[in-house]
Amino acid sequence: MKFDRPAYTAMYINLTVTRKDSAVPVDTDLIKEKLTEVNFKINQSAVVTELYGAIYSAGNSFIATVLEISDDGIAYVNSSLDNGLKDIFTVDATNIDITEIIP
């Protein structure tokens, strides 16, 4: 009997957050930590709207205004990414870029 091993595909994230209060900084490291805790299953698509829960679990001092994902770090989408039958998306903090806007 032959077993195939899953192939891990890195997911890249671009996020823009706007402070609700210009004096209260956003904990971008905590947002990255929460995003890295998102677990995907084999052949599970990455849907942008499903990532907002992880983002907002890092606090409520900001508004996530732009969220885009990519599987190559070049072409980003704001909807969803599909992967192969044996692929699993992974999220690493080094692949997350967060821009903080101070009103």
* Phi, psi for 56 (deg, rounded to 5): -75, -10
pTM (predicted TM-score)? 0.92
Q: What is the pLDDT of residues 28-61, one digit of tens each?
A: 999 999 999 999 999 999 999 999 999 999 999 9
Segment holding 55, helix H or strand E: helix 48-56
d(CA 90, CA 8): 6
- Provide the number of structural domains found in the chain: 1
In a domain, 44, yes or no: yes
In a domain, 1, yes or no: no
Does residue 87 have a pLDDT over 60? yes
Does residue 5 have a pLDDT over 90? no
Give the pLDDT confidence score for residue 1 in this predicted structure: 55
In a domain, 2, yes or no: no
Give the pLDDT confidence score for residue 50 in this predicted structure: 96
In a domain, 87, yes or no: yes
d(CA 24, CA 95): 25
In a domain, 40, yes or no: yes
For residue 94, the enclosing domain spans 7-101
Does residue 4 have a pLDDT over 90? no
